[in-house]
Structure 1
Amino acid sequence: MRKVIVALLPVVALAACKGQPPSSDSITGGNPQRGLDAIQRYGCGACHRIDGVPGAYGKVGPTLQNIGERAYVAGKLPNTPENLQTWIRFPQRIAPDNAMPDLAVSEIDARDIAAYLYHQ
């Protein structure tokens, strides 16, 4: 994963030079459309409010609106694409006994979900 982030740094820098924010897929290595599909498959909207996801009005977990503007993921990890993906895949390792279950999210699905969340 570290190699992917290092490989993406020139893309991010180039976008910044042009005055454009980097796209969510360039910073995560994921695809927002596939992320929407994965969010629906894993049932994330049962617990979270997520813009653009039909029926995602859950109130168990925090809203995931504007997650890219937050300083921390889950109040514990600095908000980076790598940390968001780690949280999505392994929430119980990061914060044992928290309300978010481990759902066996694949690495690819976590990238795509992160791309969707940052894309909002």
Structure 2
Amino acid sequence: MSSKDEKNLEQVIDKIAKMDEPRRSIMQRVHDVIVAAAPALKPRIWYGMPAYAESASTPALVTLRNDERMNLAITEKAGFRPAGGADAALMPAAWYFETVDADTEKRIAEIVRSVIG
């Protein structure tokens, strides 16, 4: 890991650490899931949010938001796939969550893996 990547990771960890509980623990768990699911993605801060990109100098593909609700989002820089079925013309891009259980972790990992191909 380059020193830039290490600095960016530290900034993401610091951003999460400054969140109030129970969100801090939830966001840390989601961060851990993302890093495990897509170790090639590099954590960084993107528009003030924890985010994950292919490199320190490329746009973020996935972001974590801690607003009124926590969410995992795919940015417009990621390759989108239509949802299919009744939602064929829609492209899912954000998922809100309040807690994270094993099923949610699995789905987050699937979403993140779909972003990197």
Query: Could you state the TM-score of these two structures normalised by the residue count of structure 2?
Result: 0.30
Higher strand share: 2
Query: Could you state the TM-score of these two structures normalised by the residue count of structure 1?
Result: 0.30
